[in-house]
A and B are shown apart, each in its own frame.
Chain A
């Protein structure tokens, strides 16, 4: 469970988050959408203290990770981060390790897991994300979709109770987006608690329990996907969804996203 209470964050004189409160219930998936610069990635990064929230409180599984600008002491913070998986837009795989080493390294270093055991665990996870045959190659030889699936396996190796996804498909070629979303969908179905920042409206509609719309550092609207996509109450939400459609028509974004288009979207997207 993730509890965000009245969080503020600014970079210099720019206020990025203004009084944001949000709860992700256990085993639920919350998708955060909104225009770029709305603060959604910053909010996600605050959840494992990659950014330090200036004010307010964030609790992960009932434990306060940061309160009013003071994060947990390093040791406890590390332990809590170990239980909070993070997936980045740019994958951030370790290029000097093979795929399986990428996945097994953190359990060995952080949890002092014996190498053989960690390797077994890593192989299981790689098979789960469909990369069983890529264990011994270096990340540079993987496609973008494969890299992101390996990065998800790497996060899962720490047996996290919460997963944070920071635009996991934004750096991918359109034809590779599906395979990553499929892995994420499976995770959600298995009961993982997930907070996902994404532009994939199809995923939001299909997988999210709650969709949160952010703009200019605030949450404008939150609710079940049906409500947000077919019956948004806020003008900002309508404006954002409309802009996505226009962007799509102009060829800027590969994925269509309008209330209508979303309704017509096949479920196996």
Chain B
């Protein structure tokens, strides 16, 4: 058996176009996941607000307890039954964002809870409202502790984004499959696809580590 990378080289423009789509979907989902995770994480700090807390807890339990693929299919194939026909790319971003957000919310909650209680007390004793104290004092410190686990989440998000190819989104995975369908060079093409994911995940890790380093140096 011989390896033939000619189809990969020939299909490289398509693969790269697909990689760009993967980056776009992942980046949008990352933002959604961050906003959602922050919100849900903060809500889950306070069980006294029963309704919001219950909603947030139900969200985390359901999303973490069911497969991402099923969630994506619910959005893409299920919602149209209610007349809600979202574009595939939107389904992909929302599905990935909601999924990743449930994990991020736990990262956020854990990081906030790891900040000494005295920090909140000191801020409140100076007259800051809960929101001001959270924003000025607790979150900036918690953010630093979120970065390492957030790196893991980002890697997972990038890799999970391969599933959106099943929603007819032309990401790097789907472009790869398209090339295989005409060249029948599965091994070579999937190797190339894997290499692209590998580069993306490591680039993301590197960026996050730079942020982490900078914050550590700044604050002595």
Q: A50-B121, A109-B132 are in contact. Are A96 and B126 (CB under 8 A)?
A: no
* Stretch from A87-95, A206-214, A232-240 at the B interface: A87-95
- The answer to the question of B159 belonging to the interface, with a C-beta cut-off of 8 Å to chain A, is no
Bound state CA distance, A50 and B118, in angstroms?
A: 10
Count of chain B residues near A, Cβ 8 A: 21
Bound state CA distance, A92 and B137, in angstroms?
A: 11
Closest to A108 in B: B136
Closest to A74 in B: B129
* Choice from A95, A96, A158 contacting B127 with Cβ under 8 Å: A158
- The answer to the question of A82 belonging to the interface, with a C-beta cut-off of 8 Å to chain B, is yes
Docked-complex contact B219 and A109, CB < 8 angstroms: no
Closest to A84 in B: B125
Docked-complex contact B116 and A92, CB < 8 angstroms: yes
Q: Chain A, interface size: which category?
A: 20 to 34
Closest to A137 in B: B220
Bound state CA distance, A81 and B124, in angstroms?
A: 7
CB-CB under 8 A from B132, the residues of chain A are 109-110
Docked-complex contact B126 and A81, CB < 8 angstroms: yes
Docked-complex contact B125 and A94, CB < 8 angstroms: no
CB-CB under 8 A from B125, the residues of chain A are 48, 50, 81, 84-86, 155
Docked-complex contact B220 and A92, CB < 8 angstroms: no
Closest to B137 in A: A94
Bound state CA distance, A109 and B121, in angstroms?
A: 16
Docked-complex contact B128 and A110, CB < 8 angstroms: yes
Against A, the Cβ 8 Å flags (1 = close, 0 = not) of B102-125 are 000000000000001011011111
- The answer to the question of B141 belonging to the interface, with a C-beta cut-off of 8 Å to chain A, is yes
Bound state CA distance, A48 and B128, in angstroms?
A: 13
Q: A50-B124, A137-B220, A138-B219 are in contact. Are A92 and B129 (CB under 8 A)?
A: no
Interface residues of A in 77-136 (CB under 8 A from B): 78-79, 81-86, 88, 90, 92-96, 105-106, 109-110
Bound state CA distance, A74 and B129, in angstroms?
A: 8
CB-CB under 8 A from A109, the residues of chain B are 128, 132, 136
CB-CB under 8 A from B119, the residues of chain A are 92, 94
Closest to B124 in A: A81
Nearest CB of A to B128, in Å: 6
Bound state CA distance, A90 and B122, in angstroms?
A: 10
CB-CB under 8 A from A138, the residues of chain B are 219-220
- The answer to the question of A36 belonging to the interface, with a C-beta cut-off of 8 Å to chain B, is no
CB-CB under 8 A from A81, the residues of chain B are 124-127
Q: A90-B118, A137-B220 are in contact. Are A78 and B136 (CB under 8 A)?
A: no
Docked-complex contact A96 and B128, CB < 8 angstroms: no
Closest to A79 in B: B127
Docked-complex contact A78 and B121, CB < 8 angstroms: no
Can you give 12 contacting A-B residue pairs, CB < 8 Å? A78-B124, A78-B129, A82-B127, A83-B127, A86-B125, A88-B118, A90-B116, A95-B219, A96-B140, A96-B141, A137-B220, A151-B122
Among all A-B residue pairs, the 5 with the closest Cβ atoms: A82-B127, A92-B122, A86-B125, A106-B126, A92-B118
**16 further contact pairs, Cβ within 8 A, besides A94-B137, A94-B141:** A74-B129, A78-B124, A81-B126, A82-B126, A88-B121, A88-B122, A90-B118, A94-B119, A105-B136, A106-B123, A110-B126, A110-B127, A138-B219, A138-B220, A154-B122, A155-B126
